[in-house]
């Protein structure tokens, strides 16, 4: 959010500056048209950038909200965290977010790989982690 505020401020400064320059230029006719155009264009570009950032930000916030709800977390809580902390909030969410649909099914099956001890699917013949092959189907 800090970045957004900074960009908004730069955009606003550019806008005010361009209005001032345009005012001086029209009054004294000393500043060439190119300069007026440059600042006008600068203000327009800044406005577009600010709007662009704002839209991206809203889309990201909506995504975090939906992602949190989908994974059984509070969407509103994470939305607030992202709004308050900004990019850091998004990073925290990406780190701590639980997998979709809770823990993988393999863990519920209780079948462990005899080689590496990790949970594996009930019907696998090869350990997906260490690649060990099992002689019998249900060992
Ligand atoms: Zn294994």
Tokens encoding 32: 């060439």
Query: Is the pTM above the cut of 0.85?
Result: no
Residues with CB under 5 A from ligand 1 (ion): 113, 115-116, 127, 129-130, 132
The per-residue pLDDT string of the chain (139 residues; one tens digit each, 9 = 90 and over) reads 567 677 778 877 877 787 777 776 666 666 677 787 888 888 999 999 999 999 998 999 999 999 998 888 889 999 999 989 988 999 999 988 887 665 554 445 677 888 888 888 877 888 888 988 876 554 4
CA 122 to centroid of ligand 1, rounded, Å: 13
* Distance separating alpha carbons of residues 59 and 63, to the nearest angstrom: 6
What are the domain boundaries of the chain? 2-96, 103-139
DSSP reduced 3-state for 126: strand
């Amino acid at each position: 959010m800090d970045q957004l505020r900074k960009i908004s401020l730069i955009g606003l400064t550019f806008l005010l500056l361009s209005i001032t320059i345009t005012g001086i230029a029209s009054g004294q006719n000393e500043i060439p048209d190119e300069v007026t155009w440059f600042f006008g264009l600068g203000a327009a570009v800044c406005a577009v950038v600010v709007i662009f950032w704002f839209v991206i930000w809203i889309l990201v916030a909506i995504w975090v909200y939906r992602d949190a709800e989908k994974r059984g977390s509070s969407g509103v809580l994470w939305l607030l965290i992202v709004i308050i902390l900004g990019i850091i909030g998004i990073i925290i969410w990406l780190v701590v977010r639980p997998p979709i649909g809770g823990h993988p099914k393999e863990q519920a099956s209780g079948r462990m790989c005899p080689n590496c001890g990790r949970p594996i699917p009930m019907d696998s013949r090869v350990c997906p982690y260490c690649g060990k092959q099992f002689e019998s189907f249900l060992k």
